[in-house]
Amino acid sequence: MELIIIGGGLAGCEAAWQAAERGIKVKLYEMKPSVFSPAHTNENLCELVCSNSLKGNGLDNACGLLKEEMRRMGSLVIKCADETKVPAGGALAVDRDRFAALVTEHIKNHPNITLINEAVQEIDTDEYTIVASGPLTHGKLTDAIGRLTGQESLFFFDAAAPVVTRESIDESKTYLAARYGKGTADYINCPMEKDEYEAFYNALINAERAPLHEGVENVKVFEGCMPVEIMAARGKETLCFGPLKPKGLPNPKTGKEPYAVLQLRRDNTEGTLYNLVGFQTNLKFGEQKRVFSMIPGLENAEFVRYGVMHRNTYINSPLVLNNDYSLIKYPKVFFAGQITGVEGYVESASSGMIAGINAARRILGKESVVFPASTCSGALIKYITDRENKKFQPMNANFGIIEWNRVKIKNKKERYEYISSLALSALENIDIS
């Protein structure tokens, strides 16, 4: 018996690898390169679009815990990320092209995986299938998913940040530092004084945005990927508590914290490209060039990729999914990735990992593995399948959703590390074979 997987992103590739490693023959369908979504350009599998960062790598960070859980369970995605990482302070950031190429190589060379480059338009509920088609699912496949879930898919919009060349950054106006000196000084910081910030802010809130093609009156924007111009419209100082927060970033040239700071993070191994951290945007390309070039250090910046905003589709998981990522109504059909409502690259890969493990186990006649909510992996599943969640929205990994014994630990870092230690201990007792 074989397993069909729809989608070659992080969730689909991780699911394929986990099932194949358990002896299951897998057919992995990926529509690229014959068809590209509005956000994708790379022909390889596992293309990263929004950022090259897989977030924090320490155990005082929920996403760091999730990555460590996945490492211990044999994740292909995290293995490839570790092998293609670039300097990024306390975060795990990767060279996007090398990362995608490495995952693709592993998938293509696995004897139990057959990669088929074509779009899938229908889902056979009598075959074991994992739908990991991603947040940009469209066309007939969206219709097929709607029929399976018995409802119209929900949707929201998120956005990607621009990328500039290192050589075009004016280093006389910037400095290297990591916030609060944590990790290594891998970020390029663009400091702004009050008058510079106010001029930039006024230009930003009045800049022309690109049109949305899905009916702007119904747009729901995920808070974790908020376009910078929408964030700015909430108040003049909002950005100074968000992507332009100066706290912990004193300028060594003055010894003082600037009024505002934009951080630039390395986007490739060579350090020739940098992305504007937190500057997801839906401004028109010409407006991005005009407005963002007002930031000190970026006056002559060369933009190799402008920010884009695109439609994301996800199902109402609390109504339709079991806690092993299978459909309640059609138990041979599993969902994985952002289409389930887990938000973020690592979270998507984690859902694919668990869906792949459980689909394989079911094919082999075993029961599904139920991950406890004391693990980050299990907490995400519990959140998106909570039947009481009447206003379901996508969720990132965070310590707030993880169950633990609530011992009083005042120091936040120590508390989070303690929760992580409990999670990793719980993971040791789970049979994922």
Going from N- to C-terminal start, the domains of the chain cover 2-153+315-427, 163-310
Taking residues 281-290, report their average pLDDT.
95
* Strand intervals (E) in 50-186: 53-56, 85-86, 91-94, 113-116, 129-131, 154-159, 163-165, 175-176
Fold agreement (2-153+315-427, 163-310): no
Tokens of 330: 């059609």
Mind listing the pLDDT tens digit for each residue in 137-192? 878 998 899 999 986 656 776 677 999 999 999 999 999 999 988 888 889 999 99
- Looking at residue 215, its pLDDT comes to 42
At 174 the three-state DSSP class reads: coil
2-6 and 25-29: which strand pairing? Answer: parallel
- Looking at residue 249, its pLDDT comes to 96
More confident residue, 420 or 400: 420
Looking at residue 385, what DSSP letter applies? T
Mind listing the pLDDT tens digit for each residue in 234-269? 999 999 999 999 999 999 999 999 999 999 999 877
- Looking at residue 203, its pLDDT comes to 98
- Helix 96-109 to helix 76-83 angle, to the nearest 10 degrees? 140
154-159 and 163-165: which strand pairing? Answer: unpaired
Taking residues 5-28, report their average pLDDT.
98
Distances 325 to 53, 138, 192, 210 between C-alpha atoms, Å: 26, 21, 46, 36
In CATH, 163-310 is 2.40.30.260: yes
Assigned fold of 2-153+315-427: FAD/NAD(P)-binding domain (3.50.50)
132 neighbors 31 (Cβ within 8 angstroms) = no
Q: CA nearest 327: which of 317, 312, 337?
A: 317
At 209 the three-state DSSP class reads: strand
Mind listing the pLDDT tens digit for each residue in 400-419? 899 999 899 989 899 999 99
pLDDT confidence bin for 310, thresholds 50/70/90: confident
Taking residues 372-394, report their average pLDDT.
90
pLDDT confidence bin for 39, thresholds 50/70/90: low
Mind listing the pLDDT tens digit for each residue in 43-71? 899 999 877 889 999 999 999 999 999 99
Q: CA nearest 64: which of 76, 47, 78, 50?
A: 78
Gyration radius from the chain CA atoms? 22
154-159 and 309-314: which strand pairing? Answer: antiparallel
Please confirm whether the linkage preceding 33 is cis (ω < 30° from 0). yes
Tell me what the pLDDT averaged over the chain comes to.
91
Q: CA nearest 258: which of 194, 198, 182?
A: 194
Mind listing the pLDDT tens digit for each residue in 99-128? 999 999 999 999 999 999 999 999 999 999
